[in-house]
Amino acid sequence: MSTPIEFHPFLALPSELRLQIWRMALSIPRNVNVACDTGIFQRGVPRSAKSFSSSERPPALLHVCRESRIEALRIYKPLFQTKSSPKYIYVAFSQDIITVSDNILGFLRGVDLQGIQKMAINIKDPAYFGHFNIDILKKMQPNLTELELIVEQPETYRRNHGESCLQLVTGDIRQAMAMDPGWVWPNMKIVDGKTGKLVERILGGIE
């Protein structure tokens, strides 16, 4: 017996039951990758975010019917907007994981930066991640509670003493924690970008 793909009596259900079904469907977390267009590099001109985009499609329930859209808009907000572009990305910071590369972290501003609660960062430049990005992570407290650092390991970034890229990132994080006792850091997972293996887990700081 085949499983039906449509449920025609849905509209005949009591409104309370329909709303409960919409809310259950809307409670599923998404992994939203965010890319940034910073324009063409020009010497002497500071780079800025022209627009943000994502390959993740908008939540389907925004487009099913008026009732589902109203419920979806209670959770999802149009974020990652810039003054120079009409583009935006629908995100629910309370449940979605925002995935970015380390080279665009510095272009996030305002609610886009401070509202994120769950984040994954693909670190392509391990030698400089701590220098450029830990201060940005500190600005995301206290909302940022879950952080996954996915570390790429190009051989060109090995230091003279044989320190691996994973050790570089972990060491920078540990040093920042020691030097700034006021930093309420998130729960962190440090992952080998080549193997997907969890290398270290750091429990979140306590205020």
Residue 77 lies in a domain: no
Structure tokens at 34: 């965010």
Query: What pLDDT score was predicted for residue 163?
Result: 58
Query: What pLDDT score was predicted for residue 5?
Result: 61
Q: Cα(120)–Cα(68) distance, rounded to whole angstroms? A: 29
Beta strand spans in the chain (E): 31-33, 35-37, 51-53, 77-79, 89-91, 97-101, 118-123, 146-151, 187-192, 198-202
Residue type, 43: R
Residue 195 lies in a domain: yes
Residue 70 lies in a domain: no
Residue 66 lies in a domain: no
Query: What pLDDT score was predicted for residue 207?
Result: 47
Residue 151 lies in a domain: yes
Residue 23 lies in a domain: no
How would you label 97-111 residue by residue, b for 16+ Cβ within 10 Å and e otherwise? Answer: bbbbbbbbbbbbeee
Residue 47 lies in a domain: no
User: Please, are residues 149 and 168 in contact by the beta-carbon 8 Å criterion?
Assistant: no
Which are the contacts of 43, defined by CB distance < 8 A and separation ≥ 6?
none
Query: What pLDDT score was predicted for residue 172?
Result: 92
Q: Residue 147 is part of which domain span?
A: 96-207
Closest CA relative to residue 146, chosen from 98, 108, 109, 100: 98
pTM assigned to the model: 0.86
Residue 198 lies in a domain: yes
Q: Cα(4)–Cα(23) distance, rounded to whole angstroms? A: 21
Count up the domains in the chain and report the number. 1
Per-residue pLDDT of the chain (207 residues; tens, 9 = 90+): 555 566 567 777 888 898 998 999 999 999 999 999 987 766 655 678 899 999 999 999 999 999 999 999 999 999 999 988 999 999 999 999 999 999 999 999 999 999 999 999 999 988 889 989 999 999 999 999 999 999 987 655 554 444 588 888 999 999 999 999 889 999 999 999 989 999 999 999 754
